[in-house]
Amino acid sequence: MTTAFDSFTPDVRPPVLPETDISYAVEDTAVGRLLLAVRSDGRLVTSAYIATDVDEEVWLQRLSDGVSPRVLRQTKPLDTARRELAAYLEGRVTRFSVPVDLALASEFQRSVLTGLAVSVGYGSSTTYGALAAAIDRPRASRAVGTALGANPLCVFVPCHRVLPAGGSVAGRLRNVGGYAGGPAAKEYLLTLEAGHAGR
């Protein structure tokens, strides 16, 4: 007996994801849960700590408002950033090749984060006051701290390398100061870099 479905042969194809301006993924790492997002050209626009689903929604809204409303969760475009982040956190690499985009940073934040990236290398640290002086804003150490606290590109733009006066990287860390991922994450990153500097 034949049925109407006997000659039905559907055309099976892999799914095609819609085009998007921003691709994102959530990574569980040694220093906490991070939301990573890249533009369609591969520039990283976000590497943000997200402890809760609410934090994730806040960052997705920031991406939508500040970069593009076309945001899609898909990991493939983030493969390079994810690989480099894992290698960095394992101490196998000391710098990132993924280009960053400070689209979510204010003008002042851009000057702070650019000054930081240029003046403080892997395994080194500075203070809020010294960074303020380095960007020709010697009286703005608190504003520098605030700018670093809202860094949209944690780890990739190394705000963890900035300590309060009296903080230390050598030996036992004391008073590491604030950090979006919390003091334990900051200590982890500083200790990791101190142990692998000079490679």
Active site residues: 159
| Cβ neighbours around 67 below 10 Å, total | 18
Q: Which two tokens stand for residue 29?
A: 């790492």
Classify the C-alpha dihedral 13-14-15-17 as positive or negative: negative
For residue 92, give every residue at least 6 positions away whose Cβ sits within 8 Å of its Cβ, in sequence order, or none. Answer: none
35 in Cβ contact with 26 (< 8 Å): yes
| Cβ neighbours around 132 below 10 Å, total | 22
β-bridge partners, 24: 37, 73
| Pairing state between β 22-29 and 71-73 | parallel
β-bridge partners, 46: 37
26 in Cβ contact with 82 (< 8 Å): no
